[in-house]
Structure 1
Amino acid sequence: MPSSNSSIVQQPVRTVFFISDGTGITAETLGHSVLAQFGVQFNEVRLPFVDTLEKVHDAVRRIDDAFEKDGTRPIVFSTLVKTEFAGALQSSKGMQMDLIKTFVDPLEHELGIEPAHAIGRSHNIANSIEYENRIEAINFSLAHDDGQSHKNLESADVILVGVSRSGKTPTSLYLAMQYGIKAANYPLIPEDFERGKMPSVLAPFKEKIFGLSISPERLAQVRNERRPGSRYAALDNCRYEVSEAEKMMRTEGIHWMSSTAKSIEEIAVMILQEMKLAKRSY
């Protein structure tokens, strides 16, 4: 009798191109969101700053070479703003996903306004003040990482608390870089648990505090990568710290969530929602 898996066809590895006249972050972000829906392995090729016709023709050659090598059409996610460049790219043997055309054409029809088709236009939307605010937020988060400084906490938009290695630092920096949020973070340590209350320096800013927790098993794994075999990384110690931290946050009435199975992006969005932080830098 044939195996139940005999009808499953192994998909060939496909080549995916992310092509942009800028950094390519938009093409990659949208492309990855779409590709994540399919259980197929991809070879990724990034071609940023394709801002001349010569570079577009070079991209076409690379796409066609991938077609000849793989025997399947490469998938092309592009955000080329200039119509001339986007049209030249269409001559390649790739399966085209023109992300600019997908959204700009319907909006042009709806708004009754002809788009500018100007390279770098998206970077001019945010003015210099907004850019400076984002840089200021990054510097603030770096200066207030892991409780390094208690100065100017009144300027913080949010103060993240939690046990060591629960995800406070990457979340703080992500909030600063992506949203211009001034995020400080402060570790909860055994001395805090013995006192049974939040560090006194944070007391005046309770309404700004948001807690991050993590499963003890995951915490032990992360800590063992940093300090293998230490008491700091021992599972029983991790269980104690997590339990005490969560109990303290419940007692203090602080909003908190577990970071165990969530990405930094998901954590950041939940913090923005819970703390009602609508500030964005672009």
Structure 2
Amino acid sequence: MNTDLDKHSVFFVSDRTGKTAESLGQSLLSQFDGIEFVYKTYSFVSTEIEAHFVASEINKDSIATGQQPIVFSTLVNDEVQQFISSTDACVISLFNAFIEPLEKSLQIESSHTIGKPHETYDDADYKKHMDAIDFTLKNDDGIRTNKFDKADVILLGVSRSAKTPTCLYLAMNFSIKAANYPLTDDDLKSDTLPGFLLPYADKIVGLTIQASQLNAIREQRRPNTMYASLKKCQEEIKHAGIIMNSHNIFTIDSTAISIEEIAVMIVKEKKLLKSH
């Protein structure tokens, strides 16, 4: 038997903690022997931006494994749920599965209120989680460098080296305020960090990537341009490495590892769970 076929990805997606989706989903899957289920939970998914990110992760998994992942969702908002339902996955909306027959039996429409009372949650944890997501979205791609003092971690690297998806994953799964900054052509002319980043050197994690992979990614975005050329990619990666080495910045090669793995490495290296 091919052991690769014995593993199957399972996603739990919720607008709250995800405990309901996990509990019921795992109970159902326990009826199937001979399969190792690989679980991933996405909690507090309440906006279309967040749902779009989760949907892209589900589709990436489908492509990588060659199998349709199983998705257990307790999302209440129909517009948000639609992003998940449109993925190449077996999507089971636990909320709709129970609400619709209950509405028919009770002859009344449900309120469709998020988190009432299908899950219990801590208001402080929820606020911390939403603050982290809000911060991360507002501090993506060096948009607001004047707020970097509030960041738990700052990801640094050349354009298209997986900074944004990693930041979103850190915010959505660990409630970490993650900012990122793309090194520009002017930045790469120097052998040291841009001046405004120096006070935050201890917060920085570098992301690098193999030039051939970066070239392929950029060609999809802006084909046949200098920005996407292999030579340009090689030069940027080389100079970015010099900058990071000059400050002994912990650096991760994102070429052949998943966003989840990158995030866990960052959390462990920076000991970010101590305060979260």
What TM-score, normalized to structure 2?
Answer: 0.63
Pairwise CA distance, 1:205: 0.6
Query: Partner amino acid for 1:34?
Result: F
Pairwise CA distance, 1:33: 6.2
SS in 2 for 1:247: helix
Residue 129 to residue 253, structure 1, CA distance change in 2 (3 Å): same
Distance 1:221 1:191 in 2: 23
Distance 1:174 1:204 in 2: 25
1:221-276 Cα deviation digits (max 9, x unpaired) = 11111100000000011011111111221121000111111111111100000111
SS in 1 for 2:179: strand
Q: Could you tell me which residue of structure 1 aligns to residue 269 of structure 2?
A: 274
Aligned residues: CA RMSD: 3.6
Distance 2:189 2:244 in 1: 14
Q: Contact (CA 8 Å) 2:191, 2:246: kept in 1 or not?
A: no
Distance 1:269 1:205 in 2: 21
SS in 2 for 1:272: helix
Q: Could you tell me which residue of structure 2 aligns to residue 224 of structure 1?
A: 219
Pairwise CA distance, 1:199: 1.1
Q: Say yes or no: does 1:147 pair with 2:147.
A: no
Q: Say yes or no: does 1:203 pair with 2:198.
A: yes
Q: Say yes or no: does 1:44 pair with 2:90.
A: yes
Q: Could you tell me which residue of structure 2 aligns to residue 67 of structure 1?
A: none
Pairwise CA distance, 1:130: 1.1
| Moved >4 Å (runs of 4+) | 22-25, 30-33, 39-43, 52-55
Query: Partner amino acid for 2:98?
Result: D
Q: Contact (CA 8 Å) 1:180, 1:280: kept in 2 or not?
A: no
The counterpart of 2:259, out of the listed 261, 264, 270, is 264
Distance 2:259 2:126 in 1: 22
Pairwise CA distance, 1:151: 2.1
What TM-score, normalized to structure 1?
Answer: 0.62
The counterpart of 1:156, out of the listed 148, 151, 155, is 151
Pairwise CA distance, 1:54: 4.4
SS in 1 for 2:154: strand
Distance 2:91 2:136 in 1: 33
Q: Say yes or no: does 1:120 pair with 2:118.
A: yes
Q: Say yes or no: does 1:247 pair with 2:250.
A: no
Q: Say yes or no: does 1:186 pair with 2:181.
A: yes
Distance 2:217 2:209 in 1: 10
Q: Contact (CA 8 Å) 2:136, 2:171: kept in 1 or not?
A: yes
Q: Contact (CA 8 Å) 2:155, 2:206: kept in 1 or not?
A: yes
Residue 172 to residue 133, structure 1, CA distance change in 2 (3 Å): same
Pairwise CA distance, 1:52: 6.0
1:76-127 Cα deviation digits (max 9, x unpaired) = xxxxxxxxxxxxxxxxxxxxxxxxxxxxxxxxxxxxxxxxxxx734xx24x1
Percent identity for Structure 1 against Structure 2 = 40
Whose radius of gyration is greater, 1 or 2?
1
Distance 1:47 1:130 in 2: 25
SS in 2 for 1:161: strand
Q: Say yes or no: does 1:34 pair with 2:37.
A: yes
- Residue correspondence of structure 1 range 44-193 to structure 2 within 5 A: 44-49=90-95, 50-51=97-98, 54=101, 120-121=118-119, 124-125=120-121, 127-193=122-188
Distance 1:187 1:222 in 2: 15
Pairwise CA distance, 1:192: 1.4
Q: Could you tell me which residue of structure 2 aligns to residue 80 of structure 1?
A: none
Pairwise CA distance, 1:48: 2.0
Question: Gapped runs of 5+ residues in structure 2?
Answer: 30-34, 39-60, 69-88, 103-116
How many correspondences in the alignment? Answer: 201
